[in-house]
Chains A and B, each alone.
Chain A
Amino acid sequence: MFGAGAMTNSIEEIRDSELMFVIGSNTTEAHPIIAMEMKRARQRGAKLIVADPRKIWLADMADLHLQLKPGTDVWLLSAMANVIIAEGLHDREFIEANTDGFDAMAEKVADYTPEKAEEVTGVPADDIRIAARLYATTKHAGIYYTLGITEHTHGTDNVYCLANLVLMTGHLGVRSAGMNPLRGQNNVQGANDAGATPIFYPGYQSVTDSKVREKFENAWGVPLSPDNGLNLNVMMKEMAVGNLKAVYVMGEDIVISEPNVTKVEEGLNRCEFVVCQEIFHNETTRFADVILPGACFAEKDGVFTNSDRRVQRVRKSVNPPGEAREDWKILCDVARSAGYPMPEYEDAGEVFSEYASLTPKIAGISHERLEESISGLQWPCPDETHPGTPTLHIDGPMIGRAPFQAVDYRPSAELPDNDYPLVLSTGRTLYHYNSATQTRRDAGPVAKQRNNFIEMHRSDARKLELKHGENVRVMSRRGEVEAEVWVSPRMRPGCIWMPMHFSESRANLLTNDAGDQVTGTGEYKVCAVRVEKMSNSKTVG
């Protein structure tokens, strides 16, 4: 957004906020240290608005909690836009100078009145008004969001709606403001930056742009495909129908992390060849023809790029176990075995230099420079004298014009019905990480959360005659898993929540693999399920 999917502002600016609008982000669990900055801002008097179907910890600390129904974000956000425009709180000067398409968007949101939004979202119309006014009239007001926004079939629409709010209020190029996606993993930003995406070379340079392609062909000495590749969601589907015949999976447990994993397993079974490059055996390695033992972060050199575009060093501190090797070395060796003359890189720093030389956004960054800068360098950093960019668009007017998007609400792909009456959302907890191959090997996380669970509102538990701690079967059209019930005041009635971490009880056996049209991201946050008491249920805990 406004360039690339990354925080427009820096993490350390959060502490000086006057208002934080946190939507679809359980920050204290998924980004605990960013949450500390939010707490610090709160302590200093900043206001906090939280929009989340769950009464998460931050909601307890909030001035206003908008407890919307899962998947109705477009309604909520459009209604906020509606209020801002209707009450004349938008920043006309900024809109005029920096944006296009305001009128079309304004016309669209005119239909999204707070009263109608209340019917769809369940959020009181007055709360929507208060939130909209507070956001529009506060200068240092930042939006913070995570996967609660993006993991929908209309995830891109959600993001557009947020961007509309930012643009119409001119909350861009201002400290402690902006639009801030908190990236879920240590280097999801860096992986995208480096071109691990089907439509971009490193640095968001389009693979369909012939000039760009020529640059890379010259650098790499081979002709390159002019066609966009398949995103992960589509790859999984193509694999299931037999069109994708071989996969090389590095450091990812797709049989846990992808939605509707039954289909993923079918696909892997159909593949002619599967390579896994991993540090632990996991659900995906069960399908591997070859397993290459890689190195964990403590065993190799390189860089991670965090949510605020900060490139920081990873440094080798111990050797990989046994014959395991640094992953960058393995990749070079595979290339050479396939006959490609991969350069003889001395170290990871040389790989980075090649990458930076082809990528204007980070051209000024090198391992040498990172030795000097104790808190990393934030891109854009176009040359060696550039100090990096903590806040995007902060010096004067924006480069280029940003478009408003007129967005129509589309319901989630699968809604509850008589057979599957509950809405399931999935996510992460504080104590585990992704497929939990790392965290389930440590005593603390295990002591805190040993087994899979669902959170459920007491009214639903009462209806189903379930007690806290009881084991249940959770079923969707795609699969079923067992879990403990945690009767939780955090939930909305009609909604349940389950973490994604447990390999013996995979949440993604249940989730829907319908993907967002643009990004292909799966709809992890909404699918229809049914919960059943186990016939011979025993009460635990």
Chain B
Amino acid sequence: MNYPNQKRVETFSIEINGQSCRAISGETVVDVARREGIEIPTLCHDTRLEPAGACRVCLVEVEGQRRLQPGCAWKVQPDMKVTTESTRIEKHRTILYSMYMSDHQLDESGLPVETGNGNQLRELCKTIDPLPLEPVNAPRAGRPEDVNPYIEFNPELCILCARCTRYCDEVEAVNAITLSNRGGETTIATAGNRGLLDTTCELCGGCIATCPTGALIEKKAPTNLVTLETEVTRSTCNFCGVGCQLDLHVHNDRVVKVTSPEPGETVNDGNLCVKGRFAYDFIHHEDRITTPLIRGADGELRPASWEEALEATANGLMAVKARHGADSLGFISSSRCTGEENYLMQKLSRAVFGTNNIHQCAAT
């Protein structure tokens, strides 16, 4: 058995581009470089996943190694020397990115398409003068028949970095999607190419969040998300008690998309579940109560002004208190509301109406 807490931690120094850096045993070249602010590009790397070394974007020179080595997977050793910028690496990046472009959907400007979910390949391709490679037209199959409401896969933007399948295996652990076929036919598939609703998928959308190129996108998000001006507000999820942090993307006073902060930043480490990521339609649902309502003598609810409603509320409670005493009132607060609101509710119960009959569904 592996006892992570008891592992001996050694620190030593390594050299990256001639600069001395502190490193901890078990770290990779990319781990150290990122901490030191040295940029090594990656596509298939996600701190939550075991390194795959598959995209080859992070190849660096390691002294003593004949071949270029993947920085995302290469473990640091005391006194090792790493080079991340050289003519060899530049040539490697130029050709590799160009090859990716020959296997990718491009926009009018000749760059990898941006779908509104971020396309890191596009950003990388901006850093090179690409070779004019003809498209390879790889026969990657998609799943056009998949009717699930949330997750869409566009094989033309897929670089087969397998972040989605590894996430589905290693983090969400439901193994709904897999790498399938071989060579140029390799694609992301489900068993029997079934729609996600007919698989073990729990619709967490983590595959979308980890996809570096936007090959996986949200069906719910507006199609013109790329050009849409949105404001992003950090907040806390309103479902279970984990306290996941959310970024609410807002356009025109409407929430149009919900994402997680980057891995490593918050309690949810970049993860969300189906409710946190997707179940936000209720916010702008037409069934929302939009005006105060008072039940009339006829037993029907009718719209009322705030003044009326507040007065009715205060008078109704005070009348019962007057008739039967403060402890004939009960205040049921909500574990769905904020701390401030719960504070005010118990203050209302205790200070305003004089009873400690204040509770919420504490055990649930």
Contact = CB atoms under 8 A, between A and B. Distances in A.
A321 interface: yes
Nearest to B290: A322
B55 interface: no
Interface in A185-200: 185-199
Nearest to B353: A338
Contacts of A307: 241-243
Contact of B290 (A191, A196, A321, A433): A321
Contact of B243 (A191, A272, A273, A310): A310
Interface string B209-244: 000000000000000000000010111111111111
A192 B329 CA distance: 20
A335 interface: yes
A145 to B, nearest CB: 12
Contacts of B293: 288, 290-291, 293
Interface residues of A, number: 158
B80 interface: no
A25 B145 CA distance: 36
Interface in B267-285: 267-269, 271-276, 278-285
B343 A147 contact: no
Given A296-B238, A351-B343, A281 B316 contact: no
B157 interface: no
A32 interface: yes
A435 B26 CA distance: 47
A364 interface: no
A43 B166 CA distance: 13
Interface in A482-516: 516
Interface residues of B, number: 120
Contacts of B319: 272-273
Interface of B: 1-5, 48, 148-150, 170-173, 197, 202-204, 231, 233-245, 248, 250, 253-255, 261, 265-269, 271-276, 278-285, 287-295, 301, 306, 309-314, 316-321, 323-324, 326-364
Contact of A147 (B250, B254, B314, B364): B364
Given A43-B170, A251-B336, A293-B289, A441 B351 contact: no
A289 B287 contact: no
A444 B279 contact: yes
Interface stretch (A10-18, A66-74, A111-119, A471-479): A10-18
Given A244-B357, A246-B328, A317-B233, A290 B292 contact: yes
Contact of A250 (B173, B203, B333): B333
A420 interface: no
Contacts of B283: 296, 298-299, 318
A228 interface: yes
A230 B287 contact: no
Given A34-B242, A248-B317, A275-B316, A313 B330 contact: no
17 contacts: A32-B240, A32-B273, A185-B364, A194-B340, A196-B342, A196-B346, A196-B358, A273-B317, A275-B316, A306-B267, A313-B234, A331-B341, A331-B348, A334-B310, A354-B343, A439-B282, A519-B362
Contacts of B321: 246
Interface stretch (A218-226, A394-402, A406-414, A529-537): A218-226
A157 interface: no
A303 interface: yes
Given A250-B333, A430-B202, A292 B313 contact: yes
A442 B279 contact: yes
Contact of B332 (A249, A298, A520): A249
Nearest to A238: B330
A39 to B, nearest CB: 5
B330 to A, nearest CB: 5
A247 B330 contact: yes
Contacts of A201: 346, 350
A72 B345 CA distance: 37
Contacts of B344: 328, 331-332, 335, 351
A38 B347 CA distance: 39
B363 A186 contact: no
Given A32-B273, A45-B1, A224-B354, A334 B235 contact: no
A161 interface: no
A159 B82 CA distance: 54
Contacts of B333: 191, 196, 250-252
A132 interface: no
B361 A232 contact: yes
A140 to B, nearest CB: 6
Given A184-B335, A319-B253, A352-B340, 6 more contacts: A207-B356, A230-B327, A230-B359, A235-B330, A293-B290, A334-B314
Given A235-B330, A306-B243, A323-B291, A275 B338 contact: no
Given A232-B359, A293-B291, A337-B311, A248 B236 contact: no
Contacts of A248: 313, 317, 329-332, 348-349
B363 A519 contact: yes
Given A316-B233, A328-B340, A239 B330 contact: yes
A298 B255 contact: yes
A437 B336 CA distance: 13
Interface string A12-44: 100110100000000000111110110110011
Contacts of A15: 4
Contacts of A252: 332-334, 336, 360-361
A322 B268 CA distance: 33
A303 B239 CA distance: 14
Contacts of B337: 187, 191, 250-251, 294, 302, 327
A98 B1 CA distance: 30
A304 B250 CA distance: 21
A189 B241 contact: yes
Contacts of A229: 327, 349, 355-359
A226 to B, nearest CB: 9
A375 interface: yes
B171 to A, nearest CB: 6
Nearest to B321: A246
Interface string A55-72: 000000100000000000
A155 interface: yes
A247 B267 contact: no
Contacts of A197: 346, 358-360, 362
Interface string A305-348: 11110111111111101111101101111110111100000001
Contact of A444 (B271, B274, B314, B334): B274
Contacts of A194: 339-340, 342-343, 346
Interface stretch (A80-88, A122-130, A163-171, A175-183): A175-183
Contact of A279 (B149, B172, B288): B288
Q: Which of B255, B278, B295, B361 has the most CB of A within 10 A?
A: B361
A31 B341 contact: no
A312 to B, nearest CB: 5
A51 B294 CA distance: 49
A94 interface: no
Contacts of B291: 293, 322-324
